[in-house]
Chains A and B, each alone.
Chain A
Amino acid sequence: MSVILLLIVVSVMVAAGFLLAFLWSVKTGQMDDDYTPSIRMLFDDELTHKDKKIKQTQIK
């Protein structure tokens, strides 16, 4: 049975890890803006996509 004690302690610690991650993310301002990052992420994608296309056509 004592192994359950160990497992519980481990599970609480894992959960606490996630809690800390959340608190850290709030503190560093990652929750301040929940919209722009979703736009920003698309830019890089499109750029690399285009670059690849250009490279491909050059190879041909």
Chain B
Amino acid sequence: MTKPNCYHCGAHCDEVITLQEKVFCCEGCKMVFQLLDENGLCQYYDLTNMPGVSAKGNFLISKYDYLDNQAIQDQLIQFKSEEQHHIVFYLPQIHCVSCVWLLENLHKINPGIIQSQTQFEKKEVKVIYHPQKISLKELVQLLAFVGYEPMIHLGGNAWLQKKKVNKQQLYKIGIAGFCFSNIMMFSFPEYFSNDIRELGSLRPFFIYLNLLLSLPVLFFSASGFFISAYTGLRQKWLNIDAPIALAIMVTFGRSVYEIITQTGAGYLDSMSGIVFFMLIGRWFQDKSYDSFSFDRDYTSFFPLGVCVLKEGQEMNKPLADLQKGEIVVIKTGEMIPADAILQTEGALVDYSFVSGENAPIEIPKGNLVYAGGIQKGRLIQLEVVKPVGQSYITELWNNPLLNNKKNTEKSFVHPWSQYFTIVLFTIALSSGIYWYFVNPHHILPAVTAVLIVACPCSLLLTVTFTYGNVLRWLGKSKLYCKNASVIEAMDSIDTIVFDKTGTLTNHDSAQLEYVGKALSNAELIAIKSITKESLHPLSQFITQHLNQQHIGVTTVEHIENKMGLGTYAKAGDLEILVGSRKLLQLYHIGLDEAIQTSGVYIAINGIYKGLYKMNHQYRKGMGEMIHALHARGYQVHLLSGDYSNEKENLQRILGPAVPLLFEQNPEDKLNYIQFLQNQGKKVMMVGDGLNDAGALQKSDVGIAVTDQSHLFTPASDGILEGEQVSQLSHLLLFAKKAKRIIVLIFMLSLMYNIVGMYFATRAQLSPMVAAILMPISSISIVSLSALLSFLYARGLRIKHD
């Protein structure tokens, strides 16, 4: 029997709920449908099939109580007046046309919302609302209810504002394009007339108009090159912009000289063209993935506000103001905001994000819990021992090892540009010396012509366009790089370090495995009847697991919950214990001492039967991927925060050559990267979660793996979608090819340079030759770069949607 799909979210329905002949997987989805139906918003379902975001677990309404706090509101709201508040939310769930439609029609659900506007690629929505008709808390609750829970974090909205489009660059391109095309047009009469005397009085008019038009290009559009060259020179470093700035200045200077002495029309069209093409190249290369944030620190992981207990009263306050000694109230599903001591029983903390351990841990009263863990059990109270900024996990960011900046704009092209400049000056000098002996009148024209023609702009264009193309192809394969220098850094990688949980394994598909004596059907029914009643996540897993085997339910006569241990129950003639190892010891049940793994132990009628183990499933193709990496000469290491009970299995999958390290805390991982780097290795770290944050930062290239459902990645150089981890060796190879493409095209541009040099050193470079050579070389470089990267991408079967 195939399971029906939920009308709202498309999930398989285990238990079917029907309404108006439509099938829903849970009450949540049904309620969202009802809300939309009441407000006439069912077009949501017409635009895309099953567009909804599963509503499971989004009903913790009190979660947003802290939004009533004025100080927190001020941090979030961008514009405030009596009748209007403007606010921007980041909604990672936005994925289809229906999302945009629903979010822009929110005013139909609540009239307090005046307007809402989405930005699909940035996954943002800007909401304008009337503060008297709807509060910020109600607004966020509404968004969360329909499935779009905004990400609101300690860092506030500061990082949203960082992502502004660089308008200055667009201005520069626009003005350069305008001036370039007009100058080109006004140069045509000069080039195409048989005898320039025919032009008569028009000629000076054209020339001076061109001069006038070239001024904004020189002073505004090209200013970036001058500034960069100047700052480079001040640091005694000859960067790629230095020869470009020189070429622009020489071209302009010689043109002005020719115009004033009335000896020619100058090379103003070439100059403005170069500037225009190079600006476009930079803009193309600076493709940014707006919906991702590569620079998150811990502030984007913690909630903005917490609930504090003060003199018996619960009140909300900003997390940043949390003091040592205060009592914090944490509800189910909330994150522990600071290192704290447990004041109540019932803590069941999921540290998978912090340490990479698989299963939630039960922590008794009086023990220390660490920031970053997520409470899975019931409501607990904690006494803060360290402020947020000094917690164990946030300390990672203050580690002195992380102070060096990496992957800034120092391309391998920069050292080349030094050779380039040296060769350039040698040629210019020798042609000057040559003409000094042959015809001293030609010294100045020849030397300046060399500098004009041999502008390294073709090299720069090659690099910017090739990296721009590679960046886009990788993006299509769902590897999103922070910038072009990441691709370059990938080229030199020789060692790859993987994290286990969440990277090699899949976060979402944990599998339950039963180890022990076989259970009869009646026993399974009884177990399911017990676990069904419990809210413990492991119990819920067991229930689901048994559901899949179509196990029924029976009545349970007697249930006794042992807090933090498990359950004792009687069903029919069966006496069942379901719980931790300690629970069974409490009832004096003989255990097989060899079994030490964590899991849910089952004992029936006083005899130990077996246990349910949580196994995270490995992603498909991990073994092949590791072998392919080995075959390409990469060293592969594995670091895991988890216990070593998986060791043999892993070694079998990954092969004997992979060093496996278990029980690594975040600092160990960081130190391990440092240790490899000290051996002169170039390390790539592939990981997820906060526990890898330090290692990701420290490595030469840090790749964060994410499964679409939670776009929640620590600071990194690139973000890779989980399903594509198996493609990693292909992607790395493709990044490597980028350098080959650049070298190939550079050969071509060298040819153009030689042709130009031929004219230049003979003092024969007419403005027309320069004007033809410049666009031809630029256009051929751009198209060749696009073609080669396309061919390589296809050859490697890089996915193309």
Contacts and interface: CB of A to CB of B under 8 A. Distances in A.
Given A33-B120, A39-B100, A43-B101, A26 B209 contact: no
Which of A12, A18, A46 gathers the greatest number of chain B CB atoms within 10 Å?
Answer: A12
Given A26-B174, A27-B167, A31-B165, A42 B97 contact: yes
Interface string A1-38: 10011001000100110110011001100011111100
B170 interface: yes
Contacts of B100: 36, 39-40
A32 B119 contact: yes
B178 A16 contact: yes
A33 B119 contact: yes
Contact of B175 (A5, A19, A31, A47): A19
Contact of A4 (B104, B122, B182, B202): B202
Contacts of B202: 1, 4-5
A23 B174 contact: yes
Contact of A36 (B118, B200, B205): B118
B74 interface: no
Contacts of B118: 36
Given A5-B205, A15-B182, A35 B171 contact: no
Instruction: State the main secondary structure of chain A at its contact with B.
Output: helix
A15 B43 CA distance: 44
Nearest to B186: A8
**B-side interface size class:** 20 to 34
Instruction: State the main secondary structure of chain B at its contact with A.
Output: helix
Interface in B148-182: 164-165, 167, 170-171, 174-175, 178, 181-182
A33 B121 contact: yes
Contact of B174 (A5, A19, A35, A39): A19
B121 A26 contact: no
Nearest to B124: A33
Contact of B178 (A15, A32, A34): A15
B182 A12 contact: yes
Contacts of B165: 31-32
Contacts of A27: 167
Which of B174, B175, B200 gathers the greatest number of chain A CB atoms within 10 Å?
Answer: B174
Contacts of B122: 33
B167 A35 contact: no
A39 to B, nearest CB: 5
A15 B177 CA distance: 11
A39 B175 contact: no
Given A8-B209, A19-B178, A23-B174, A35 B200 contact: no
A27 B174 CA distance: 12
A8 B121 CA distance: 42
The 7 tightest CB contacts between A and B, nearest first, are A36-B120, A19-B178, A33-B119, A26-B170, A22-B174, A35-B121, A35-B120
Interface of A: 1, 4-5, 8, 12, 15-16, 18-19, 22-23, 26-27, 31-36, 39-40, 42-43, 46-47
